[in-house]
Structure 1
């Protein structure tokens, strides 16, 4: 009995060790190699951000500049038959979903910041945004300096909130879960202004008459494609794909498609020559 018990215990330990090794190897696997094997790249994209990633109620698909970029990058990396699978993320969920391996890469209005670069890797900037303000047209707020003593609405997981604390330290900041809630709060006068990147705000202004974007851009918010640390081959492939798109005219075509008719938005400044 003792020998049998010892043998069972020994085999159990071996199985646990082997299982642990398998998990370790899995976490170290190349996402790019797996994508090429399955001919699919899984992307985290927004579903609540007009112009970049907004779910179309007609077919349930997220559509926008970021979504199209993901599709084009996929074709450049995997070839014309490559498939881009979209997973809807929020500002709050995009990093955890990426770190947990639920998505291969995130292209979701995500600014490249030193804090994020500690845990994620980024492609080169594919869209140079800047933080601004959305206010009612009747508002007396003209710039970020006018926010002191006011209530400013932001979204959880966005670095815009921290920026407001810097430019208007006496402003009260309210953080909500997504942009739909944020806009509703602004409409119901729970705040005096909504702040985030100007590209997102222009999309919100198009959807909500009576509101406009003000304040210029008081920060630089370069958007990058986020991938997990250590996936250098995927980062390199994404950078190469973006460069090829810029040279071929694909990038300019997508910029004009999504931003060409937006009032007040000078899309030509974003063109990559």
Structure 2
């Protein structure tokens, strides 16, 4: 029988937020989000209904401004630069992706490194010891798309899967990481795959592709949701869920926080991560894709991956796919 572990420290992550700079981070209250029909793309995704590859983003071009130079007049880039900071929606409870460091009080992780890269592409790299010009806003999975569409955040880096349905609502950068869905269970579970969990209550974050994938993989499971990854972990530790299904990156963080948990080896989806943007600003996406390509080429991407996600195994950054014309 699995021992129940204390959830006070884990649950506290849901209630905390911090900034990577001198700007006070805010946690946006959760509210019901409009239903988003999603489908995880397979390894070789089919074209969207408009004929475009879901992983295709806007190609950088000669007009991409250099970091720290004046941004083009009348664009969202100029608005961000004049404001003096990038406003980013992130997680504060996904260990190694975006989580609060209990010692420094800062939110850090692989997704946060992506956000700092974007800020530096606009404002230039900060001087040694100075913070990146970023305001982090802690958001839940269901809030990602609504907040982008409302313009409440400039960008979202919260392990968000690129797919056709989401392209209808927001825009994406080129893929910056390829995750996959797995399932976490009690360490004494005899299950080998999701097929062995029929009748079991399994948690997946609301508004995520993980929930849809889980239902398709085994309709006989009893899915429940939480607004965050830590919310699912709390339910699991309280014995209200027999398991958690989600991205391997997130589950690795969950397992690190619970010695009585293990991750099943079965991987049943591909989850290509993209940075999310409000539609109608391809110049912003082009700048970010240029910065992301530079980060992959000069070793910064690999260094960040090794630091935060290296325990998942060796990997190379995903090659970008360009050619997007939608929204131009």
Structure 1 and Structure 2 fold alike (TM over 0.5): yes
- The Cα of 1:271 is off from its aligned counterpart by 4.1
Deviations 1:76-103 (A, max 9, x none): 3331246122111110222222222221
2:182 alignment partner, one of 115, 132, 142: 132
Task: Please show how residues 36-185 of structure 1 align to structure 2 within 5 Å.
Answer: 36-81=81-126, 83-185=133-235
1:33 alignment partner, one of 54, 66, 78: 78
Correspondence 1:200 to 2:250? yes
Per the alignment, in what secondary structure is the counterpart of residue 134 of structure 2?
strand
Residues 111, 223 of structure 1: 8 Å contact kept:
yes
Residues 129, 223 of structure 1: 8 Å contact kept:
yes
Distance (whole Å) between structure 1 residues aligned to residue 202 and residue 318 of structure 2? 33
Distance (whole Å) between structure 2 residues aligned to residue 219 and residue 37 of structure 1? 41
Distance (whole Å) between structure 1 residues aligned to residue 120 and residue 227 of structure 2? 33
Q: Report which structure shows greater RCO (CA 8 Å, sep ≥6).
A: 2
- Aligned residue pairs, count: 241
Per the alignment, in what secondary structure is the counterpart of residue 304 of structure 2?
helix
Correspondence 1:269 to 2:315? yes
Query: Whose radius of gyration is greater, 1 or 2?
Result: 1
Correspondence 1:187 to 2:237? yes
- The Cα of 1:116 is off from its aligned counterpart by 1.2
Distance (whole Å) between structure 1 residues aligned to residue 234 and residue 133 of structure 2? 36
Q: Which has the higher helix share?
A: 1
Residues 150, 192 of structure 1: 8 Å contact kept:
yes
Q: What TM-score, normalized by structure 2, do the two folds share? A: 0.70
1:244 maps to what in 2? 294
- Which of 29-38 and 85-94 deviates more? 29-38
What value does the CA root-mean-square deviation take over the aligned residues? 1.7
Residues 229, 250 of structure 2: 8 Å contact kept:
no
1:210 alignment partner, one of 218, 241, 260: 260
Distance (whole Å) between structure 2 residues aligned to residue 80 and residue 222 of structure 1? 27
Residues 44, 89 of structure 1: 8 Å contact kept:
yes
Residues 192, 266 of structure 2: 8 Å contact kept:
no
- Which of 91-100 and 126-135 deviates more? 91-100
Q: What TM-score, normalized by structure 1, do the two folds share? A: 0.83
Per the alignment, in what secondary structure is the counterpart of residue 93 of structure 1?
helix
**Aligned CA distance change for structure 1 residues 59 and 251 (closer, same or farther; 3 Å):** same
